[in-house]
Amino acid sequence: MKFLKAIAIAIVSLVFKTIAGDHIRSISFKKYSRCNQFISPFNETIVEGIHSVAACGVECASETYCVAFSLSSGDNVCMIHRHVFLDGVCYVGDWRHFNVQNRCMNGGEYDQSKLTCQCYGGYIGHFCERIMQDCSEGFKIGHYEEDGIYLIHPRMSPSPFSVWCRMRYDGNTFIQRRIDGSTHFNRSWQEYKDGFGDLSKNFWLGNDKIAYITNGRSQTLIFDTKDESSPFMRQRVYTQFSLSQDGLYSMTYTNSWGHDDPLRNGGDCLVELKGQPFSTFDQDNDDNSPLNCAQEHKSGFWFKSCTPCNPNGVWSETADKKRAGVPEEMFWTPVVGDNLIMFCTTFLKAT
């Protein structure tokens, strides 16, 4: 019996490997034998010519709705059920009954009404068998509605990593956020490469991770900024945004546009920087200036003869909410002008 059960689990795992790509899924079965009412089989899915519990388990595993199955050894019939055995009802004849255990992977919960798994933490699929590529995929598949920290696994990435997702507006994967001055952004090349900060507050996701996301699926980059000159969030959009994977993280995009309302338009700050590699104080890749612009602006960013924008600069607060006029402070010159940036986020949306 132990040998038979081992075979059943191994075979079911093979079936799930076929269903769920490279992810191997093992389903365990719990035999149900306490019956106080006997009935004739009712109209469930019937598969004939099944000779073993293992083979019947394979049939169950291949159906997303199956949560229990029965095997009639005398008739070689396998019956697939949409409901588990809970009420003590068994079938007349030589039947063995099994409830499926652990139908969903990775902490998912089976939803009987939807005949699928409710997944958590970034997992998606009928059985929560894989991790979403980005927040947009998680939103569109319908597993997630709450903003928060989730795992993603872009196609280009060797391993999953955590991101902040906004599960609205088609799903947004945040790569940068500045909400206060508690985190400094004057960091080394390695820190910008790997990422730093607190995903729930202020952070830079990491150039490696941004490159994985933008080279795996087509992404639109969106900058949101807030300043005293407008009651609204200002926004600028860059389509087909990507970073190079040559170690320089050169930035490129196809088109850029902003809101028709001048009070909501963030202005195009990246047009002069298109095609530029990334720079930090310890790796200056701005060949257009004799200055080390990253050192001058005390931040990491794409610089060309320094820059008209410095969203990773030093957080500053003044009484009149105007810039102090120093190169290291946060600024986004187009439209915002000499106003301080009071809030800045940068996120991706798959297109």
Residue 290 lies in a domain: yes
Residue 116 lies in a domain: no
The CATH number covering residue 137 comes to 3.90.215.10
The string of DSSP codes covering 113-172 is TTTEEEP-TTEESTTS-EE-SSHHHHHHHTS--S-EEEEE--TT-SS-EEEEEE-STT-E
Say if residue 77 is in the same domain as residue 143.
no
Say if residue 174 is in the same domain as residue 320.
yes
Dihedral sign for Cα 133, 139, 142, 143, please. positive
Please check whether residue 256 is in contact with residue 271, taking contact to mean a CB–CB distance below 8 angstroms. yes
Say if residue 238 is in the same domain as residue 344.
yes
- Convert the pLDDT of each residue in 28-80 to its tens digit: 678 887 777 778 777 789 999 999 988 998 888 788 778 889 999 888 999 99
Q: pLDDT at position 99, please? A: 85
Q: pLDDT at position 91, please? A: 81
Say if residue 264 is in the same domain as residue 173.
yes
Say if residue 218 is in the same domain as residue 327.
yes
Residue 120 lies in a domain: no
CA dist 143 and 122 (Å) reads 9
| Residue that is last in its domain, among 80, 101, 122 | 101
| Residue that is last in its domain, among 101, 121, 155 | 101
Residue 110 lies in a domain: no
The 3-class SS string of 269-307 reads CCHHHCCCCEEECCECCCCCCCCCHHHHHCCCEECCCCC
Q: pLDDT at position 16, please? A: 36
| Contacts of residue 13, Cβ cutoff 8 Å, sequence gap at least 6 | 24, 25, 26, 27
| Contacts of residue 226, Cβ cutoff 8 Å, sequence gap at least 6 | 233, 234, 341, 342, 343, 344
Instruction: Tell me which amino acid residue 244 is.
Output: S
Q: Please calculate the CA angle 70-74-77 and round it to the nearest 5 degrees.
A: 40
Say if residue 75 is in the same domain as residue 198.
no
CA dist 223 and 207 (Å) reads 16
Say if residue 157 is in the same domain as residue 271.
yes
Residue 151 lies in a domain: yes
Please tell me the total count of domains within the chain: 2
pTM of the model: 0.81
Residue 265 lies in a domain: yes
Say if residue 185 is in the same domain as residue 56.
no
Q: Measuring CA to CA, which residue among 188, 180, 181, 182 is closest to residue 300?
A: 188
Q: pLDDT at position 215, please? A: 97
Q: Measuring CA to CA, which residue among 101, 103, 102, 98 is closest to residue 85?
A: 98
Say if residue 77 is in the same domain as residue 212.
no
Q: pLDDT at position 28, please? A: 67
Say if residue 158 is in the same domain as residue 272.
yes
Residue 113 lies in a domain: no
Q: pLDDT at position 27, please? A: 62
Mean pLDDT of all residues in the chain? 87
Tell me the residue range of the domain where 181 lies: 132-350
Q: pLDDT at position 5, please? A: 34
Which neighbouring-strand residues pair with 161? Answer: 152
Please check whether residue 304 is in contact with residue 281, taking contact to mean a CB–CB distance below 8 angstroms. no
Residues of the chain with pLDDT under 50: 1-25
The CATH number covering residue 69 comes to 3.50.4.10
Residue 114 lies in a domain: no
| Residue that is last in its domain, among 82, 101, 120 | 101
Q: pLDDT at position 149, please? A: 98
Instruction: Tell me which amino acid residue 228 is.
Output: E
Say if residue 230 is in the same domain as residue 82.
no
Say if residue 66 is in the same domain as residue 183.
no
